[in-house]
Structure 1
Amino acid sequence: MPGMGRPNRWAMLSLGVAAQGAGCVFMYGLPFLLPALEAEHGLTLAEAGVIVGAPSAGMLFTLIAWGWAADRYGERIAMTSGLALATVFLGSAAFATHPAVLALLLGLAGAAGASANAASGRVVLGWFPKERRGVAMGWRQTAQPLGVALAGVIAPPALHLGGVRGALLAMTAICLVTTCCVGLMVVDPPRPETSAGTRSASPYTEPALWRVHAASMLLVVPQFATAAFALTYLVAERHWAAATASQVIAAAQLAGAGGRLLCGRWSDLAGSRVGPMRRLALVNAAVMLVLAMAVQAGNAAGSALLVAALVISMSGNGLAFTAVSELAGPAWAGRAMGAQNTGQNLIAAGTPPVLGALITHAGFGTAFALAGALALAASVATPGVPMIRRPVVRRPVSPD
């Protein structure tokens, strides 16, 4: 319970992962409802796709605002209030009869559930010492694949029993239980003492944080180039059975989640986030470019290289978030991680349609080569600064 002494840091991490995972269940798990949405509401695939994408769209508008709320009022209040609102909107969406109302309510649920993205990162930053923060943030970054996996487990029986309404109510129940657990058990980590009449200087006056944001956005392209088109390539170009390809891709997703933990441990041992991030970007670029050459040549090795590229492109995600939180410092970590999420999600939304058009006109090899070139650019953009943050300079707040 809050206020009852120093909590177990791993319990706080677990609650943070649960909070973010609960949001991911409906933000990224709605594609499991696509066929049912089409059938029950008489929608085309494109119209159902708008509904499925509504939570992600709503999230983009509020990530930085929720980060500010976590910085200003604390992690527990931000996560609890956001998840509570998401529960209300998601539960209301279950009873919506018009597709437009359903999309609106799901968008509002996504906007509210975004609170956990920044606030859960602040929990890791505050409760874990620097030398263990990489692994902790790696665990935190597993919330998305775990949330999607949970959605995949609950969606079929819920749809069978109650259709789309039943599935949305099951997701609402997960949000409600998580909200109660977070509100009752999360303890805000201690914060540095600040003098009255002072405020923390913005970390964005120096280029390092901007460079990490830029590198992270560039690295989204190879991640989504492989994640979005792996199934299509393996089935259409290599003539795999769809079921086999799906199983291999699912295994690669789990391997990528494990890679995030390993990269976090690597950064802890190295005492740096940006050093491993830069090296991994170089490896990512090399594998993507070799993949592009194999695909262009019609080499059978392209299948194995594609799976390897999928795992590698996922593995460094936690490094960037840890770097951002440490460069921003405790007073700005929530806003900085909100900005990080916003930039990455914008690129993630644009990558599939842009690369899809490129693949249509120039082939898979060209698209993978472009993704590799952007990974190489990310290695250059990654700053070469030590991750020991200089003392924060404070400036007085004017009386007016």
Structure 2
Amino acid sequence: MTTPRRAWTMLALGVAAQAAGTLVVSAPALLIPHLVAQGMPLASAGLFAAAPTIGLVLTLIAWGAVTDRVGERVVIAGGLALTTVTVVAAWLSAGNPVLLGVAFLAAGMTSASTNAASGRVVVGWFPKERRGLAMGIRQMSQPLGVTLAAVTVPQLTEGSGIRAALVLPFVLSAVLTVLCAAGIVDPPRPARTAPAPGAASTTAANPYRSSGFLWRVHAVSVLLVVPQFTLSTYGLVWLVGLGWSTPAAGLLVGVSQFVGAVGRILVGAWSDRARSRVGPLRVVAVSAAAVMGVMALVDVSHWAAAAVFLLVATSVTVADNGLAYTSVAEAAGPSWSGRALGTQNTGQFLAASAVGPGVGALVGTLGFAASFGLVAVLPLLALPLVPRTDRSHD
């Protein structure tokens, strides 16, 4: 089956929209050194960094349900417009940490619109045998957004203050609001036909009631997202503690996120060739446990090659997202994919919200080595939960 040319345009817009939203919600974590230098405790700074993630959790399923009902274009463009407004509010609140945190909370609530909706665009426009690759490209949006934040926010904040760091998020959100409103076309969907008398409707059947597959993938993703957010939230702080300057550490975090984005594409293409999402997912879980264990050893030994290990660990710990995301969309089907993807992201961001204050408290009490070692246990707990076979509506 050939891939429609329009599908690649939709993918490009979906990636850009999600990257812009990720840039906005990633900024607070990269403000941690600045906030700590101004006297804020690390655990409190971690809670501040979690504000956008909490906002995402509050609204992801709702945005998914709206997407199922009204389509992708309205949700993506409308959500980006609201995100632009929240960035303006953050700019105005830059001198007040409490108001700034509230603004970032609102930014998370509005940027959640792009998560489920952009995933639906990919699933809707690409045939099954290309979805792993396409979703791997789509999943580049998260590390690309973090990369943009990592190479701009620390440097601009250190040189010119928080307001300067918010200019790029504002510009990208505003521009992509216009581009997505003009360019996104909702994918074709199967017609909803009325069931025969006495027969149950299969089109809109709740996939959560037919098996435990989706619940298991959600649980696996919750466990695997903790190592990912541990590194994206505290990788910068860890490097600074090893003697790196803040700008250099921010640049390395950005590079590692970009390498991770490329890795997502390769893993997605691998799943297409293997004709399986859950098989590669199992391999990624084992690898994530291994690299977090190595990170603990690196911290204890203070190896000079810390940058290399952080780059590898970041690449491995982000590799599961596209696999799980594609698997959820395929298992849920077109009538439920928005809500299922919203549920998928809700579980992940609930865990991610706990990483900021939780891992911050662990690091403050036990240090980075023990904290990395404890985080390494979670992918091992995910292994028995990975389903043995895939499920798909096509």
Using the size of structure 1 for normalisation, the TM-score is: 0.82
Post-superposition shift, 1:196?
3.5
| One-letter amino acid matched to 1:204 | Y
Aligned mates of 1:368, 1:102 — CA distance in 2: 30
| One-letter amino acid matched to 1:376 | L
Partner of 1:397: none
Alpha-carbon displacement from aligned partner over 1:203-246 (angstroms, at most 9, x marks no partner):
1111111000111111122223444444555565xx55446655
**8 A Cα contact 2:49 2:356, kept in partner:** no
Aligned mates of 1:246, 1:93 — CA distance in 2: 22
Query: 2:140 aligned with 1:142, yes or no?
Result: yes
Unmatched tracts of structure 1, length 5 or more? 1-5, 391-400
Partner of 1:349: 353
Post-superposition shift, 1:32?
5.2
Partner of 2:13: 15
Alpha-carbon displacement from aligned partner over 1:357-385 (angstroms, at most 9, x marks no partner):
44455554443333232212212111112
**8 A Cα contact 1:29 1:147, kept in partner:** no
Q: Pick from 125, 128, 149 the counterpart of residue 126 of structure 2.
A: 128
Post-superposition shift, 1:335?
1.0
Post-superposition shift, 1:83?
1.6
Partner of 2:385: 381
| One-letter amino acid matched to 1:312 | V
Which runs of structure 2 are paired with 1:245-260 in the superposition (5 Å)? 246-260=250-264
| One-letter amino acid matched to 1:187 | V
Distance of aligned partners of 1:365 and 1:175 in 2 relative to their CA distance in 1, 3 Å threshold: closer
Q: Structure 1 residues 164-173 or 375-384, which shifts more?
A: 164-173
Which runs of structure 2 are paired with 1:213-362 in the superposition (5 Å)? 213-231=218-236, 233=238, 236=241, 239-242=242-245, 246-289=250-293, 292=296, 294=297, 298=301, 300=303, 303=306, 305-362=309-366
Which runs of structure 2 are paired with 1:95-106 in the superposition (5 Å)? 95-96=92-93, 100-106=98-104
Distance of aligned partners of 1:274 and 1:257 in 2 relative to their CA distance in 1, 3 Å threshold: same
Q: Structure 1 residues 217-226 or 312-321, which shifts more?
A: 217-226
| One-letter amino acid matched to 1:143 | S
Distance of aligned partners of 1:156 and 1:246 in 2 relative to their CA distance in 1, 3 Å threshold: closer
Aligned mates of 1:146, 1:209 — CA distance in 2: 27
Distance of aligned partners of 1:354 and 1:186 in 2 relative to their CA distance in 1, 3 Å threshold: same
| One-letter amino acid matched to 1:66 | W
Aligned mates of 1:116, 1:182 — CA distance in 2: 11
Aligned mates of 1:33, 1:364 — CA distance in 2: 19
Distance of aligned partners of 1:230 and 1:116 in 2 relative to their CA distance in 1, 3 Å threshold: closer
Query: 2:73 aligned with 1:69, yes or no?
Result: no
Partner of 1:191: 189
Post-superposition shift, 1:341?
1.1
Partner of 2:57: 60
Distance of aligned partners of 1:162 and 1:288 in 2 relative to their CA distance in 1, 3 Å threshold: closer
Distance of aligned partners of 1:112 and 1:270 in 2 relative to their CA distance in 1, 3 Å threshold: same
Distance of aligned partners of 1:203 and 1:44 in 2 relative to their CA distance in 1, 3 Å threshold: same
Aligned mates of 2:130, 2:179 — CA distance in 1: 25
Unmatched tracts of structure 2, length 5 or more? 196-200
Post-superposition shift, 1:44?
4.6
Partner of 2:79: 82
| One-letter amino acid matched to 1:60 | V
Q: Structure 1 residues 47-56 or 268-277, which shifts more?
A: 47-56
Q: Structure 1 residues 301-310 or 166-175, which shifts more?
A: 301-310
What fraction of aligned residue pairs are identical, expressed as a percent?
A: 45
Aligned mates of 1:159, 1:357 — CA distance in 2: 25
**8 A Cα contact 1:278 1:379, kept in partner:** yes
**8 A Cα contact 1:259 1:316, kept in partner:** no
Q: Structure 1 residues 275-284 or 153-162, which shifts more?
A: 153-162
**8 A Cα contact 2:150 2:250, kept in partner:** no
**8 A Cα contact 1:7 1:187, kept in partner:** no
Q: Whose Rg is larger? A: 1
**8 A Cα contact 2:256 2:310, kept in partner:** no
Partner of 1:395: none
Aligned mates of 1:147, 1:249 — CA distance in 2: 12
**8 A Cα contact 1:271 1:387, kept in partner:** no
| One-letter amino acid matched to 1:201 | A
Distance of aligned partners of 1:297 and 1:74 in 2 relative to their CA distance in 1, 3 Å threshold: closer
SS in structure 1 opposite 2:79? helix
SS in structure 1 opposite 2:193? coil
Aligned mates of 2:312, 2:266 — CA distance in 1: 15
Partner of 1:211: 216
Aligned mates of 2:161, 2:346 — CA distance in 1: 32
Aligned mates of 1:200, 1:264 — CA distance in 2: 28
Q: How many residues align?
A: 380
Partner of 2:176: 178
RMSD: 3.4
Q: Structure 1 residues 316-325 or 192-201, which shifts more?
A: 192-201
Alpha-carbon displacement from aligned partner over 1:312-367 (angstroms, at most 9, x marks no partner):
11222211111111111111111111111111111112234434444455554443
